[in-house]
Amino acid sequence: MKILLIGYGAMNERVARLAEEKGHEITGVVVRDSSKSYPYPTFDKISEATDADVAIDFSNPELLLPLLDDSFELPLVIATTGEKETIINKLQELSKRMPVFFSANMSYGVHALTKILEAAVPLLKDYDIELTEAHHNKKVDAPSGTLVKLYDVIESLRDKTTPVYDRHENTEKRKPEEIGIHAKRGGTIVGEHEVLFAGIDETIEITHRAQSKDIFANGAISAAERLINKSNDFYTFDNL
């Protein structure tokens, strides 16, 4: 499989290393500043990588969104977080002419966490819910795309929800519909996501901890391996 990388930060460096260990080939990288030195050919547009079988993106909306306006038909694996709604709308449009896979978190364990949450929320309908995520001190967006996805699952299963990001000025008790959303940043934390269900005299916690960024890179590679044999459509872990 010949892979084009969109962005060449820490995550796609891992994708390159792990993909080559699996016998795949990196045909080049699409980067904002092609004057820098990279170990692969650089491109300004996706359409310039004519021999690639698939593109894997770990970048940012500023790089990705303009690239999606180009004319191309290359299968896409997209992991960029931030401006989620805009990106998904564009990818759904592109999926009419190429297979497209999107996930805010490339870990299959996180996908399993969302499925566990889908089962737990109806069972614990009278419990208060708090969502907490923790990441390294270089992550720029908060809350994480994964935490937003977890909130979306809860919102779809409860009659009324209100996200609460800050309580330090609140002077009233917690309302039942509130979903607390908390982000922590520090050190080299790879990624932690916790769902707390708090009831009367008992609590239940569901937690996913990433122990290496390799899980995200391997998840993207695995998605790409399956995607290149798919028909044109918009895919997630639910239907890939």
Is 28 a known ligand-binding residue?
no
Is 145 a known ligand-binding residue?
yes
What beta strand segments (E) does the chain contain? 2-6, 25-30, 42-43, 54-57, 76-78, 99-102, 128-135, 162-164, 178-185, 191-199, 202-210, 233-235
Respond yes or no: is residue 139 known to be catalytic.
yes
Is 19 a known ligand-binding residue?
no
Is 35 a known ligand-binding residue?
no
Catalytic, out of 2, 90, 139, 230: 139
End-to-end Cα, the chain, rounded Å: 18
Is 188 a known ligand-binding residue?
no
Is 105 a known ligand-binding residue?
yes
Is 103 a known ligand-binding residue?
yes
Can you tell me whether residue 108 is helix, strand or coil?
Answer: helix
Catalytic, out of 135, 182, 193, 208: 135
Respond yes or no: is residue 175 known to be catalytic.
no
Element (H, E) at 97: none
- Least Cα distance to 154 among 178, 112, 121 occurs for 121
Is 146 a known ligand-binding residue?
yes
Tokens 């060449």 locate to 8
Is 79 a known ligand-binding residue?
yes
Calpha distance 108→215 (Å, rounded): 8
- Residues at the binding site for NAD(+) are 79-81, 103-106
- Residues at the binding site are 32, 79-81, 103-106, 136, 145-146
- Hey, which residues are catalytic here? 135, 139
- Residues at the binding site for NADP(+) are 32
- Residues at the binding site for (S)-2,3,4,5-tetrahydrodipicolinate are 136, 145-146
